[in-house]
Amino acid sequence: MKYLKMLGLSAITAAAVMAFVGAGTASATTVCTLGTTTSPCGSGETPYSGKIVAHLVPGTKAVLAGTLKVECSVSTVEGTTNSSGVGEITNATWSNCTNCPEIKALNLPWKAHATTGTPPNGTMTVENPSVLLGKCLGGFANCVASAKSVVLDVDGGEPALILAISEPLTMTTESGFGCGSTGTWTASYEALTPSTGLFLR
């Protein structure tokens, strides 16, 4: 099982995380959870539409690495999805972070969509994520981490894992100095809502 293709976007997320699961693709994608067997889900599964809440896998951190390195030990991503994998990220938070104590998601909600790979796994594309990294380096800088899109790995299961693995980011300086111009986001989230797991079929 691959462990997160972030921050929270870092942030990361994604959070991450299907709720994140959004807009349609050429091949059919179905988001499933445990329940009464219902096609096109697998045995003992039923299509899922609703809220998704994902937290960092215990013992891991959301990491934004570049000229400025930020590590957050607490992060939550929330969103919604329909059974076709179309959804959005509605909230994302980060705390207990090094170098930048104030981190805030910008321009929410972020559109997202899931694509099935090898069931029950796949990917989740999050469009236009943007995060403010505030009061960095002792208050000398405010930076923005953003991307046109990030593609997260989704490992279906109970719970499902949403993985950001060195996702490329653009860094811009809002004020001060030290933000750099590029970075990467790495994080591992587990979807705890719904509690009956998530699977891509």
Residue 199 CA to residue 138 CA, distance in Å, equals 43
Residue 182 CA to residue 145 CA, distance in Å, equals 8
Task: Specify the DSSP element, H or E, that contains 114.
Answer: strand 110-116
pLDDT at 11: 40
Q: Where are the alpha helices (DSSP H) in the chain?
A: 136-139
Residue 131 CA to residue 167 CA, distance in Å, equals 14
Contact 114, 32 (CB under 8 A): no
Q: Please return the burial class of 166, using the count of CB atoms within 10 Å of its CB with bins 0-12, 13-18 and 19+.
A: middle
pLDDT at 155: 98
Quick one: which of 145, 118, 111, 115 has its CA closest to 130? 145
How, if at all, do strands 130-135 and 141-146 pair? antiparallel
pLDDT at 16: 38
- Name the 3-class secondary structure at 99: coil
CA atoms within 13 A on the CB side of 108: 21
- Name the 3-class secondary structure at 70: strand
- Name the 3-class secondary structure at 29: coil
Q: Which residue has the tokens 């990294």?
A: 133
pTM for the model: 0.85
Could you list the mean pLDDT of each consecutive 10-residue stretch along the chain, which spans 201 residues? 40 39 58 96 97 98 94 97 98 97 97 97 98 94 97 98 97 94 97 98 97
pLDDT at 27: 59
